[in-house]
Structure 1
């Protein structure tokens, strides 16, 4: 089953059953939900903060995400890509927070993308000082490339950990990081160095 399904609230719509309260689930489903919550909440909070720039907004977006995940959890347990479905819910909640605050979605910190371009060899780049130029370049990346770079460089996750959070294959995330860095370097007219610490860091 695809992880790209809609997350609209359909409870109460004719023909659509209301979510079953968690206290009516079997014990295994309850335990698996709370294990998922514990495993992902911190990473979701860090990612949401980098996107929203506010602890309160990040917490609201993440709480809404887990509320929606809870509504769908019994069905999600039958999905092939549960992690990807939950990640999609989080991304939509973050977009919703931007709309609620009437803000244009922005990355609040360019540090992750500066790190993606940094050469730690003997011939380092001059530090990027034009944040507007970097923002423009970042916005031209694909959404998956931005996420991979932000999780890897901004949050310090390994490629394997970033892939797990996104519901992706590690090889796919490595490719997204590599092509994202190359695209940034091309747009900023920089030489793209080899991946710091090796392309296969996991």
Structure 2
């Protein structure tokens, strides 16, 4: 996996990947034990979650895997520096979002996760799935227009059924921040769709 598409600001730290060490949940030649243990644990914790998020936005197993592998190319290359960051997970989430965007641009198409979620929702529920689909498509189109952080928490909490705490952990932010973004997103969507805003700050993942 090359790093030719990585953003220039991510190329200023000389790390193992630049020395030809492949990324992955295995010990790296030249890495300290701390680097190996922490990177392996992080990879094991988030890799499948990152794949799910990438697939939701790209609609392709191959594209999702390429985006996530490219993400870990960057993370492996900067791991030593990341261990000194205040929010390692927040930085990793930012890198993932950039790599997904890179993948969308390379494939010259928009992510189709909204359409996928709409059709999946329409497969269950009321007697008239066409009416539900129409309603959901309108809602998901409005979700596209939300600020990025609000769009992220809606995708995680409503499309993937993450709890507030799970979404916060994956994004590298506080649970209160996720709840705030959800509340703001719901108010924006209610105003745009002409509906009453729901003040309930829980999400589907917490109501199961």
Q: Which has the higher contact order (CA 8 A, sep 6+)?
A: 1
2:193 is matched with 188
1:46 to 34, 45, 52: 52
1:38-187 equivalences in 2 (<5 Å): 38-109=44-115, 111=117, 127=132, 129-187=134-192
Q: For 2:196 and 2:10, how far apart are their aligned partners in 1?
A: 49
Structure 2: 5+ residue runs without aligned partners?
A: 1-5, 22-27, 122-130
Q: Secondary structure at the match of 2:78?
A: helix
Q: Secondary structure at the match of 1:102?
A: coil
| Distance change >3 Å, CA 131–CA 25, structure 1 → 2 | same
Counterpart CA distance in 2 for 1:148 and 1:175 is: 10
TM-score, normalization by structure 2? 0.77
Q: Distance in 2 between matches of 1:139 and 1:194?
A: 21
Partner of 1:156, secondary structure, is coil
Higher helix share: 2
TM-score of the two chains, using structure 1 as the length reference: 0.79
Q: CA deviation at 1:153?
A: 1.4
TM superposition outliers: structure 1 runs of 4+ over 2 Å: 6-11, 104-112, 130-136, 192-199
Displacement after TM superposition at 1:7 (Å): 4.4
Verify the 8 A CA contact 2:56 2:112 in the aligned structure 1.
Answer: no
Q: Which residue of 1 aligns with 2:43?
A: 37
Q: Deviations over 1:110-155 (max 9, x none)?
A: 638x98xxxxxxxxxx845245532431122110011001111111
In the superposition, relative to structure 1, how do residues 156 and 148 fare at CA in structure 2: closer, same or farther (>3 Å)?
same
Aligned to 2:14: 18
Distance 2:99 2:63 in 1: 10
Q: Describe the superposition over 1:84-106 as per-residue Cα deviations: whole angstroms up to 9, x where unpaired.
A: 11001100000000111111344
Consecutive unaligned residues in structure 1, runs of 5 or more: 1-5, 116-125
CA distance in 2: counterparts of 1:189 and 1:9, whole angstroms: 42
Equivalent position of 2:8 in the other structure: 8
Aligned residue-pair number: 182
